[in-house]
Chains A and B, each alone.
Chain A
Amino acid sequence: MSQTAPSPFEKLEHKHQEAEVIATESRSTWQITWARLRSNRWAMTSLYILIAITLLSIFCPIFSPYTSYTNNLDNTFASPSAKHWFGTDNLGRDLFTRTWLGVRISLIVGVAAALFDLIIGIIYGGIMGYAGSRVGGAMNKIAEMLYAIPHLLVVILLSVVMGSSLTTIIIALSITGWITMSWIVRGQILQLKNQEYVLAAQSMGASSARILFKHLIPNTLGPIIVTVTLSVPSAIFAEAFLSFLGLGVQSPASSLGTLIGEALSSWTIYPWMMFIPASLLSITMLAFNIFGDGLQDAFDPKMKK
Chain B
Amino acid sequence: MKKKLLLLVSLTLVLTGILSACGKSGSGTSDQTFRMNLTTEPPSLDVAQAQDQVSFTVLSGLFEGLVRMDAKGEIAPGVAEKWDVSDDGKKYTFHLRDNAKWSNGDPVTAQDFEYSWKRTLDPKLNPPAPYAYQLYYVKNGQNYNIATDNPDHVSDPSQVGVKALDDKTLEVDLENPTPYFLNIAAFFTAYPVKKDAKFGEAEGYISNGPFKLKSWKHGDSIELVPNENYWDKDSIKLKDVKFLMVKDPNTEFSMYKTGQLDWSGLPTGSIPPAQLDKLRQENNKELSIKGIASTYFYNFNNTKKPFDNAKVREALSMAINRQDIVDKVTKAGQTPAYGFVSTGIHGVNGEYRSEVKDDYFKEDVAKAKELLAEGLKEEGMTKMPEFSLSFNEGPHKTIAEAIANMWKENLGIDVKLELQEWKVFLKNRQSLNYDVARAGWGADYNDPMTFIDLYTSKSGNNDIGFKNPEYDALVKEAYSTADQQKRVDAMAKAEQILIGDNMAVMPIYYYSSNQLVKPYVKNYVVDYSGNLDYTRISIEK
Contact = CB atoms under 8 A, between A and B. Distances in A.
A29 to B, nearest CB: 40
Given A91-B329, A160-B424, A252-B417, A71 B401 contact: yes
Contacts of B424: 160-161, 163
A266 B420 contact: no
Contacts of A70: 405
Contacts of B405: 69-71, 91
Contact of A73 (B273, B277, B324, B418): B324
A90 B405 CA distance: 14
Interface string B372-405: 0000000000000000000001000110111001
A90 B418 contact: no
Q: Which applies to chain B's interface (DSSP): helix, strand, loop or mixed?
A: helix
B418 A269 contact: no
Contacts of B324: 73
Interface string B410-449: 0000000111110110000000000000000000000000
A264 B402 contact: no
A250 B274 contact: no
A161 B421 CA distance: 9
Contacts of B397: 250-251
B275 interface: yes
Interface in A206-246: 246
Contacts of A163: 418-421, 424
Contact of B401 (A76, A91, A264, A270): A91
Name which of B402, B405, B423, B424 has the most chain A CB atoms within 10 A of its CB: B405
A162 to B, nearest CB: 10
A77 interface: yes
Given A159-B421, A251-B397, A252-B417, A71 B402 contact: yes
B272 interface: yes
Contact of A91 (B278, B393, B402): B402
A246 B273 CA distance: 16
Contact of B419 (A161, A250, A270): A250
Nearest to A90: B398
A161 B427 CA distance: 12
Given A250-B419, A251-B419, A265 B329 contact: no
A70 B408 CA distance: 10
B500 interface: no
A97 interface: no
B107 interface: no
A71 B274 CA distance: 17
B329 A270 contact: no
Q: Which applies to chain A's interface (DSSP): helix, strand, loop or mixed?
A: loop
Contact of B249 (A71, A159, A265, A270): A265
A256 B322 CA distance: 31
B328 interface: yes
B418 to A, nearest CB: 7
Interface in B272-296: 272-275, 277-278
Interface residues of A, number: 23
Contact of A265 (B274, B418, B419): B274
A55 to B, nearest CB: 29
Contacts of A91: 329, 398, 401-402, 405
Contact of B274 (A73, A90, A159, A164): A90
Nearest to B425: A163
Interface string B51-89: 000000000000000000000000000000000000000
A74 interface: yes
A246 B402 contact: no
B283 to A, nearest CB: 16
Contacts of A160: 421, 423-424
Interface string B507-537: 0000000000000000000000000000000
A127 B297 CA distance: 56
B249 A246 contact: no
A230 to B, nearest CB: 30
Nearest to B420: A163
A163 to B, nearest CB: 6
Smallest CB-CB A-B distances: 10 pairs: A266-B274, A265-B272, A73-B328, A71-B405, A160-B421, A250-B419, A246-B393, A265-B250, A269-B278, A73-B324
25 contacts: A69-B405, A71-B402, A71-B405, A73-B329, A73-B402, A90-B274, A90-B329, A91-B329, A160-B421, A161-B424, A163-B419, A163-B424, A250-B417, A250-B419, A251-B400, A252-B417, A265-B273, A265-B274, A265-B275, A266-B272, A266-B273, A266-B274, A266-B275, A269-B274, A269-B275
